[in-house]
Chains A and B, each alone.
Chain A
Amino acid sequence: MMSLAVDITYFLTAFIFIYGLKQMSSPVTARGGIVIAGIAMLAATLITFGVPQIHLELNINMVLMLAAIAAGSAVAYISAKRVEMTNMPQMIAMYNGMGGGAAAAIAAVELVKLASGGASHGMVIQVLAVLGAVIGAVSFSGSLVAFAKLQGLMRKTLHLPLHQFVNLGLFAAVCVTGYWVATAHPVDPDHLLWFFAIAVVLGVLVTLPIGGADMPVVISLFNALTGLAVAFEGFVLNNAAMIIAGTVVGSSGTLLTQLMAKAMNRSLANVLFSGFGSAGGAAVAEDIEGSMKEIQAQDAAIMMAYAENVIIVPGYGMAVAQAQHKLKEMEDLLEERGVNVKYAIHPVAGRMPGHMNVLLAEAGVEYDKIYDLEEINPSFPQADVALVIGANDVVNPVARTNPDSPIYGMPILDADKAQNVIVIKRGQGAGFSGIENHLFYADNTRMFYGDGQKAVGELIAGIKQLQG
């Protein structure tokens, strides 16, 4: 009777997860989607106390279980409530890593059972446990490194000598020890220990050389991997809810990873195996026509206040300067004057696809004023002013014009096609890719130097003066 209730609950959980994810594909229903998924998760957790492997009595296992659930939930709840939106991507990476670690730990429990003479459930199950273990462990340690990097705890990218060969060696070592563990019965405890240790180190070393701007792709990849690990452990534990939920995340995460890599015009292999700039990054000294022309706040304010259409292009610099609230304030002022304001977001702006949208939403910008690349590009020629704030490579026209450029072919926002371009920028340096931005030298571009938040504040003051 109990087992039927368990099966029904798991079935409904799997159904609701998929339905919830589906709901999340529209901003209108998204919130409802996550809430019912949350209810399903709660139900699945509660019903799990009824499975045969868990004895409903107050033994040591039960005490530990309740303590662990309380501890894990409390820490995660508090951290998720407190984290600032700018730091959300690394927090999400952390939760993902925890899932991977949990999958690996489940495999560890099952494999330790085999090492201490427990009955084998057959070779296939043992192989799946090992696969889930290595994928989960890599996702766990890799996500921790990703967290440290995005949080700024680890500024530099680290290259060992012959880094790719070291990784290759470790990968081979994981395969060999994994093979030993998967095929032996009973499992040798030493092999098991080495297997997990090497898998964790591999995750660290794979992630270390990857630069901060590529991190979103990596985090998304680890998401897919964790899903896969969960699915594999689902097979081991004979749990359909885990198999389905894990697989759905695994495949959707893979798709998301591909979309992201495509938006950056790079293959996944390229992100993983070559640091940006190390491949053919010799900066070509090129002649750029024109010069950078500076503009003062008052002039920029006038330009925008008397415009009909303004498109704002925010980039990572806006997030760093926390300028989203000021931007919203300026948008309101401009709209009072009858200016039509839109936001254009490049797929890889910010630290994660959609991160900019979250930040703008935090400031109260309505989502139907935010456009992505394909929607907004045809509107730039009609825009009187394109205001670029903290974005650089994603508006660099050489991606369209110069086949020799490392970013050639990357889809960009056509800000240069607007009548006038105002670029708010901290200094005169090149972007993340180290490539000179021809947009900054264009005849219709004016540079407005300063910290994003302060600069927009000055623009607001300027616009207010016109009304006064």
Chain B
Amino acid sequence: MIEGFTALYIFMLAAFTGYEVISRVPVILHTPLMSGSYFVHGIVLVGAMIALGHAEGTLELAIGFFAVVLAAGNAVGGYVATVRMLEMFKSSKEGK
């Protein structure tokens, strides 16, 4: 169980990490990076699965189903789009 201040500490440290990791990225990678970070919040799939897993009754099941569909779309779509974009980046030193 993550409680009170421990949770707050995790939140703070993760926030700084995100800020630092991105702050040195060249502009040319911004679009793939954005799409990559979209993919990362696809981790919401895990939460959606848990929500659907312990859902009871029609309404909860329906919303849970909706959550998992959306989350799976977020994760898979984000991944495929990012990889497609990154595959195109070539340097003049390689592959010519």
Contact = CB atoms under 8 A, between A and B. Distances in A.
Contacts of B51: 105-106, 109-110, 237
B74 to A, nearest CB: 4
A449 interface: no
A292 interface: no
A238 interface: yes
B63 A108 contact: yes
Interface residues of A, number: 115
Given A25-B29, A223-B34, A240 B88 contact: no
Nearest to B35: A92
A123 B31 CA distance: 39
Nearest to B68: A68
A413 to B, nearest CB: 13
A174 to B, nearest CB: 19
Given A31-B87, A252-B21, A98 B36 contact: no
Interface stretch (A14-22, A305-313, A391-399, A416-424): A14-22
B11 A73 contact: no
A89 B83 CA distance: 14
Nearest to B31: A354
Prevailing SS type, chain B contact patch = helix
A51 interface: yes
Contact of B53 (A22, A53, A251): A53
Given A61-B52, A362-B88, A357 B28 contact: yes
Contacts of B21: 18, 21-22, 25, 248, 252
Given A76-B77, A113-B60, A35 B83 contact: yes
Contacts of A256: 22, 30, 33-34, 37
Given A102-B70, A249-B37, A80 B80 contact: yes
Given A102-B45, A352-B30, A358-B32, A76 B76 contact: yes
A220 B34 contact: yes
Given A30-B29, A68-B65, A248 B2 contact: no
A410 B79 CA distance: 34
A21 B51 CA distance: 27
A55 B53 contact: yes
A256 B30 CA distance: 8
A98 B59 contact: no
A302 interface: no
Nearest to A122: B3
B19 to A, nearest CB: 5
Contacts of B67: 101-102, 105-106, 108-109
B37 A227 contact: yes
Q: Which of B64, B72, B88, B93 has most chain A Cβ within 10 Å? A: B72
Given A99-B42, A99-B44, A25 B90 contact: no
Interface of B: 1-2, 7, 10-11, 14-19, 21-57, 59-61, 63-93
Interface of A: 10, 13, 17-18, 20-22, 24-28, 30-31, 33-35, 37-38, 41, 44-45, 48-49, 51, 53-55, 60-62, 64-65, 67-69, 71-73, 75-77, 79-81, 83, 85, 88-89, 91-92, 94-96, 98-99, 101-103, 105-106, 108-110, 112-113, 116, 219-220, 223, 226-227, 230-231, 233-235, 237-256, 345, 347, 352-355, 357-358, 361-362, 364, 366-370, 372-373
